[in-house]
Amino acid sequence: MTKGAITKLADSLTARGYLIRLTDPTDRRTQILNITQKAFDILPALAALADENSEESFGDLHQTEREMLAQLQKKIVEGYGITTRPCPQVLFSFEFAPTVVEVHPDFGPAGAGIFRG
């Protein structure tokens, strides 16, 4: 995905109430994207769709091959400078710890996914 495509997607999700954008207080060029309660509420349905898609796409891979693929995808995304960390702001209370994605202006084109574990 290009920077423009990521910006357009983030704009759309923000306008529909699924994301909140914050400016990183330590680096004003970096935006912090945090999910809202509305987004959190649909996570189980999205996870089920993601699991179904993964099974369809990667069902022929053994578990060790799937784990290796996940590690490689994570390494590729991190290579573009996209990082995740626990959210510093508590926007709402739930057991699942929210994750934010920091988007630095110099990261280059990248694809991202949900990494479990």
Please name the residues in contact with 22: beta carbons below 8 A apart, sequence gap of 6 or more.
31, 32, 33, 34, 89
Q: Maximum CA pair distance of the chain? A: 45
Pairing mode, if any, of strands 31-35 and 19-23?
antiparallel
- The pLDDT assigned to 85 comes to 59
Domain positions in the chain are: 3-103
The CATH code that applies to domain 3-103 is 1.10.10
CA distance 19 to 84: 15
What angle is formed at CA 101 by the lines to CA 105 and CA 1, rounded to 5 degrees?
60
Tens of pLDDT, residues 34-58: 888 899 899 889 888 988 888 888 8
Tens of pLDDT, residues 56-75: 888 898 989 988 988 898 88
- pTM to 2 decimals? 0.53
- The pLDDT assigned to 13 comes to 93
